[in-house]
Structure 1
Amino acid sequence: MTDVRPDAPAVEPEDITEETVTDATVESFARTADPRLRELLGAVVRGLHAAIREVEPTIAEWETAIDFLTRTGQKCDDVRQEFVLLSDVLGVSALVENLNHRKVGGATEATVLGPFHMTVSPVRENGDSIDEVGGREVCVVEGRVLSVDGEPVPGASVDVWQADENGFYDVQQPGVQPAGNGRGLFTTDAEGRFRFRTVVPAHYPIPTDGPVGELLAATSRHAFRPAHIHFIAEAPGHVPVTTHIFVAGSPYLDSDAVFAVKRSLVRDFAPVDDPDQAARLGVANPFRHALIDLVLQPVDASPQP
């Protein structure tokens, strides 16, 4: 007895050619139950096929591309996300963040998450230090979480992570930095304020010992990011924001390897020589000081296109 599928064509199939393969592939997803998944697959297939038609890769070139993606996946582990890094250097992370955070006027601009938000930040009290190794250039970061109407947002969570003064994150140096160094999860007070002690971060190269590093070398691109501190601010009734503050005057502000710099996020890490203020903030004098307001838009606000 012949095994005939219910959805088998009633006529002889046409040959698949370079002219018809794209439509045939898109049509193969026509029964996808999730309409959004069907839309995404169709768009990816059309875009990928268009790129292939444009450059007409050889078989050897396509095998090289497959090998690159395979090795990118193999480089990922619990503390290293090479695919995020690839997304970053291709500008895709920046594009996705901007598309998903079209903001109302006055809201803090979003930037990329980056590949090092790999562990849960330790819960800390306002005023605590996130520097657990005793860096040289002490800094105090103070800020507020506000709504776009200027009202403070009490009880907001502020997740913070940064590289140390040598340009390394804790997950890059197990056994050198304790887990959780340079990280903290803070809650704003009744006036929307948060504060922490840290070190002034250094500019640094993204990891170049994997396929992404090979890509940068092959295209004569540098791997450096300007000095920065990461933030995620969240509060009920508001759209979360993933962002940075960048150290004014840092190298590579004009050529960030992952396309994340926005002028509104550059901050002075101002030198302070004031023993009384240092005592109030719990740091040695002199020190550096940075201010940042994280402004969230309500969930029902209309973003700018």
Structure 2
Amino acid sequence: MIDRDRRERLLTDEVAASFADAPPRLREVMGSLVRHLHAFAGEVRLTEDEWQRGIDFLTRTGHITTDTRQEFILLSDVLGLSMFTMAVNAPEDVNATEPTVFGPFFVDDAPEIALGGDIALGVKGTPCYVSGTVRTTSGAPIPGARLDIWEADADGFYDVQYEGERRAGRGWLTAAPDGSYRFWSVLPSSYPIPHDGPVGELLDAVHRSPMRPAHLHFRVAASGFTTLVTHIFVAGDPYLTSDAVFGVKDSLVVDATEYPAGRAPDGADRDRPYYRMTFDIALAQEIQP
């Protein structure tokens, strides 16, 4: 009879070898996945009951996932895998704006908003004027860059978390010929990630908070450049050092300055106080294969 360590090693080798005829990249990924999974199970001496509970957890994660709620992305986020994957794939150009997590609430059918328009579209919150310039990492403007923006309302909910098909608190616009962009929205609010499902159970079990600091999502794309997915975070938010999904980076923390009612930066007269945030974006050149 062979000893336990050799038996486990032989099984791992056999499973990894079963992918020998797969395409090269798939063979590499699956072989490494098998070896790491088996090493994990061996290191913690995973019991059959724990394995079954893990299968049940993943099954429930799949069952709660819908077109507007991606529980597997939430799981990836709270495990830090989303941010780790972004770090692995981030442009090497240190002058490029840093990326952060995509999140589960992006949709493809956001409305187009005119430059200087309002993406809030009626969502609850204090008005906030956001502006900046999209440039190359060497400082040249990038005209025509597409900016997709989305955020939660003052109660911490995205439009897709409400009943119905209304689109609000999101939109996309095109940078001006000088690379500048500007739009109205509402001041971002901190909020908990959805924690009424399996991911919330995991956070409760390990005594972790589901809270995210106040932020505004950006996806910025332009031909010839690496698409950027990032946030801007509101300076001073109490959750900046305990983000549930590990997405905060110092370079993405932006001051939100309050102004009284009156003439706004776009020349309009505002009848209530508003905030202003400025965020310049630098895109890295796309690397050709």
Bin for the TM-score computed over the shorter chain: over 0.9
Map 1:101-120 → 2, pairs under 5 A: 101-120=90-109
1:245 aligns with 2:235: no
**Normalization by structure 2: what TM-score?**
0.94
- State the distance in 2 between where 1:134 and 1:116 align: 16
Write the deviation string for residues 254-294 of structure 1: whole angstroms up to 9, x where unpaired.
01000000000000110123623366146434210000111
Q: Give the fraction of aligned pairs with identical amino acids, expressed as a percent.
A: 46
Contiguous gaps of at least 5 residues in structure 2: 1-5
Question: What is the DSSP-based 3-state SS (H/G/I as helix, E as strand, rest coil) of the residue aligned with 2:282?
Answer: strand
- Equivalent in the alignment of 1:4: none
User: Is the contact made by 2:125 and 2:153 (CA closer than 8 Å) also made in structure 1?
Assistant: no
Query: Aligned to 1:67, which of 56, 72, 82?
Result: 56
- State the distance in 2 between where 1:209 and 1:45 align: 31
- Equivalent in the alignment of 2:243: 256
User: Is the contact made by 1:278 and 1:286 (CA closer than 8 Å) also made in structure 2?
Assistant: no
- Equivalent in the alignment of 2:182: 195
Question: What is the DSSP-based 3-state SS (H/G/I as helix, E as strand, rest coil) of the residue aligned with 1:18?
Answer: helix
Shift in alpha-carbon separation, 1:98–1:165, aligned structure 2, 3 A: same
**Normalization by structure 1: what TM-score?**
0.89
1:168 aligns with 2:157: yes
Query: Aligned to 2:84, which of 87, 91, 95?
Result: 95
User: Is the contact made by 2:91 and 2:284 (CA closer than 8 Å) also made in structure 1?
Assistant: no
- State the distance in 2 between where 1:141 and 1:229 align: 10
Query: Aligned to 1:24, which of 2, 11, 14?
Result: 14
Question: What is the DSSP-based 3-state SS (H/G/I as helix, E as strand, rest coil) of the residue aligned with 2:88?
Answer: helix
Greater shift in the superposed pair: 135-144 or 154-163: 135-144
- State the distance in 2 between where 1:76 and 1:58 align: 27
Equivalent AA in structure 2 for residue 137 of structure 1: T
- State the distance in 2 between where 1:196 and 1:273 align: 18
Shift in alpha-carbon separation, 1:134–1:96, aligned structure 2, 3 A: closer
Equivalent AA in structure 2 for residue 30 of structure 1: A
Write the deviation string for residues 134-190 of structure 1: whole angstroms up to 9, x where unpaired.
534111011111101111100000000000111100011124xx6221111110011
- Equivalent in the alignment of 2:207: 220
- State the distance in 1 between where 2:142 and 2:271 align: 30
Q: Give every structure 1 segment of 4 or more consecutive aligned residues whose post-TM-superposition deviation is greater than 3 Å.
A: 281-285
Query: Aligned to 2:171, which of 184, 190, 200?
Result: 184
- State the distance in 2 between where 1:261 and 1:284 align: 33
Count matched residues: 283
Larger radius of gyration: 1
- Equivalent in the alignment of 1:142: 131
1:229 aligns with 2:238: no
Equivalent AA in structure 1 for residue 121 of structure 2: E
User: Is the contact made by 1:142 and 1:196 (CA closer than 8 Å) also made in structure 2?
Assistant: yes
Shift in alpha-carbon separation, 1:134–1:244, aligned structure 2, 3 A: closer
- State the distance in 2 between where 1:285 and 1:78 align: 37
- State the distance in 2 between where 1:201 and 1:259 align: 18
- State the distance in 2 between where 1:134 and 1:171 align: 12
User: Is the contact made by 1:278 and 1:284 (CA closer than 8 Å) also made in structure 2?
Assistant: no
Question: What is the DSSP-based 3-state SS (H/G/I as helix, E as strand, rest coil) of the residue aligned with 2:267?
Answer: helix
- State the distance in 1 between where 2:207 and 2:187 align: 29
Contiguous gaps of at least 5 residues in structure 1: 1-15
Question: What is the DSSP-based 3-state SS (H/G/I as helix, E as strand, rest coil) of the residue aligned with 2:280?
Answer: strand
- State the distance in 1 between where 2:108 and 2:115 align: 20
- State the distance in 2 between where 1:21 and 1:162 align: 48
Question: What is the DSSP-based 3-state SS (H/G/I as helix, E as strand, rest coil) of the residue aligned with 2:279?
Answer: strand
1:38 aligns with 2:27: yes
Question: What is the DSSP-based 3-state SS (H/G/I as helix, E as strand, rest coil) of the residue aligned with 1:17?
Answer: helix
User: Is the contact made by 2:263 and 2:270 (CA closer than 8 Å) also made in structure 1?
Assistant: no
1:86 aligns with 2:80: no
- State the distance in 1 between where 2:222 and 2:89 align: 17
- State the distance in 1 between where 2:147 and 2:266 align: 24
